[in-house]
Amino acid sequence: MTSQAAKAKAEVELDPFVGVDFSNLELSLRRPRTFVSMLFTAITIAMTLCALVPLFSVLLLLLWRGGRKLSIAAFTQLPPVPLEQGGGFGNAILGTVVICALALLISLPFGILSAIHLAQATPDNRLANSVRFVGKVLSGFPSILAGVFAYGVVVMATGGYSAVAGAVALSILMLPTILLTAEDAIRMVPPSMKEAAVGMGATETQTVWMVLLPTAAPRILTGIMLAIARAAGETAPLLFTALFSNYWLIWHGHVKLLQPTASLAVLIYNFAGMPFANQVELAWAAALVLVIMVLITNLIGQSLANRQVQ
Partner 1 sequence: MSTSESAHPVSHPANGKGDHSLAMDCSINEVYYGTAKAVRDTKLPVQKNAITAFIGPSGCGKSTVLRCLNRMNDLIRGFRLEGSVTFQGNDIYGPKVDPVAVRRYIGMVFQQPNPFAISIFNNVAFGLRLNNFKGDRAAKVEHALKSAALWDEVKDKLSQSALALSGGQQQRLCIARAIATEPEVLLLDEPCSALDPVATRQIEELMKELKARFTIAIVTHNLQQAQRVADKTGFLYVDTSEGARTGYLVEFGDTKQIFDEPKAKETQQYIRGEFG
Q: Of residues 28, 203, 302, 303, which one binds partner 1 by CB under 8 A?
A: 28
Task: Using the rule CB under 8 A, give the single segment among 31-39, 168-176, 179-187, 297-305 that binds partner 1.
Answer: 31-39
Query: Are the CB atoms for 183 and 118 separated by under 8 Å?
Result: yes
Question: Which of 265, 266, 239, 262 is closest to 249 using CA atoms?
Answer: 262
Among 2, 30, 33, 51, binds partner 1 (CB under 8 A): 33
- In the set 2, 25, 48, 54, which binds partner 1 (CB under 8 A)? 25
- Is 264 in contact with 79 (CB distance < 8 Å)? no
**Binding piece for partner 1, criterion CB under 8 A, among 2-10, 80-88, 178-186, 247-255:** 2-10
**Closer of 11 and 204 to partner 1 (Cβ):** 11
Give pairs for 301-307: CB < 8 Å, separation 24+. Answer: 301/221, 301/222, 301/223, 301/224, 301/225, 301/226, 301/229, 302/222, 304/218, 304/219, 304/221, 304/222, 304/225, 305/218, 305/219, 305/222, 307/218
Closest to 210 (Cα-Cα) out of 179, 225, 189: 189
**1 SS3 class:** coil
74 and 138 in contact (C-beta within 8 Å)? no
Q: How far is CA 178 from CA 17, 111, 121, 123, in A?
A: 62, 6, 17, 20
17 binds partner 1 (CB under 8 A): yes
**Cβ contacts of 142 within 8 Å, gap of 6 or more:** none
Which segment (5-13, 163-171, 233-241, 245-253) binds partner 1 by CB under 8 A?
5-13
15 near partner 1, rule: CB under 8 A = yes
- Indicate whether 8 belongs to the interface with partner 1 (CB under 8 A): yes
For partner 1, which residue of 32, 159, 191, 201 counts as binding (CB under 8 A)? Answer: 32
SS3 71: coil
Q: How far is the CB of 2 from partner 1 (least distance, A)?
A: 12
Of residues 146-185, those binding partner 1 (CB under 8 A):
none
Q: Does 2 bind partner 1 (CB under 8 A)?
A: no
Give the angle 244-58-294 at the CA atoms, nearest 5°.
50
* Pick 15 or 124: Cβ nearer partner 1: 15
Query: Binders of partner 1: how many residues, by CB under 8 A?
Result: 23
Question: Min. distance of Cβ 28 from partner 1 in angstroms?
Answer: 7
Residue 72 is a binding residue for partner 1 (CB under 8 A): no
Does residue 38 bind partner 1 (CB under 8 A)? no
Q: Is 20 in the site for partner 1 (CB under 8 A)?
A: yes
Residues of this chain that interact with partner 1 (CB under 8 A) are 4-5, 7-8, 10-12, 14-15, 17, 19-20, 22, 24-28, 31-34, 37
